[in-house]
Amino acid sequence: MKITIIYDNETSRKDLTPDWGFACLVEAHDRTILFDTGANGNILLDNMKSLNIDPEAIEIIVISHAHRDHTGGLAGFLRENNNVSLYIPSSYSIPPDSARAVIAVKEPIKICEGVFSTGELQGSEQAPYGDEIEQSLVISTDRGQVVIAGCSHPGVKNILEAASTHGRIHALIGGLHGFSEFDLLKGIDIICATHCTQFKAKIKSLYPDRYIEGGAGRIIDI
């Protein structure tokens, strides 16, 4: 499988635009999936063009949660290609005619062969950002499960526990916000902390052999 970060606060290439938000392309199990859409449709589409990603090749969009830095590019993308299946948390309202199919996700579901949603997760109201509702993406590979998170508002522990129902966690990619339970990462082979992660340097220092720098343009082959 192949993951291409399209939208991030930083960029790994000078021809791409960094911006506060997150989006990545997942190519796995013969499907092409856009996870989140960043904050700005023009930046999303311009970065896709520079990365030679054709919007019309995308079949599925998964939105992690309702914050604008993950949904702001959606309308612009759908003007280019609305012939997609759009998976959104049930708590997030999207006009029903925005895409060919809109699936409101509450419980864990199978999106397609080898690709799953954790369903809506919600952390403790006492934890920073923990009361926010969010879904994460889980992709099965022969090396284990690859987990892609938008901001990890419900807590990385909750996300990993939900994803591990499909098997051992091989990779964790995406925004981790204020996550500081670093021991939870001990058994994970690939860690790519992006977007809103507050302690990137600490995570990298603890797991230098497993850490991959994020940024728009980063490609991760698994």
The token pair that represents 128 in the structure block: 């920073």
Which among 93, 101, 104 is positioned nearest to 135, based on CA atoms?
Answer: 104
Q: In order of start, what are the domains of the chain with their CATH numbers?
A: 2-221 (3.60.15.10)
**Gap between the Cα atoms of 192 and 65, Å rounded:** 19
Given a cut of 90, whether residue 53 has pLDDT beyond it is yes
If you average pLDDT over residues 18-38, what whole number do you get? 98
Helices (H) and strands (E) in the chain, counts: 5, 15
pLDDT-derived band at 93 (thresholds 50, 70, 90) equals confident
Helix (H) or strand (E) holding 79, with range, is: helix 74-80
Average pLDDT of every residue of the chain: 94
On whether the pTM is more than 0.85, the answer is: yes
Given a cut of 50, whether residue 24 has pLDDT beyond it is yes
Give residue 126's pLDDT: 45
If you average pLDDT over residues 12-32, what whole number do you get? 97
Which of 108-112, 127-131, 210-214 comes out lowest in average pLDDT? 127-131
* E-state strands within the chain: 2-7, 23-28, 31-35, 60-62, 85-89, 101-105, 109-112, 115-117, 121-122, 133-134, 137-141, 144-149, 169-175, 190-194, 219-221
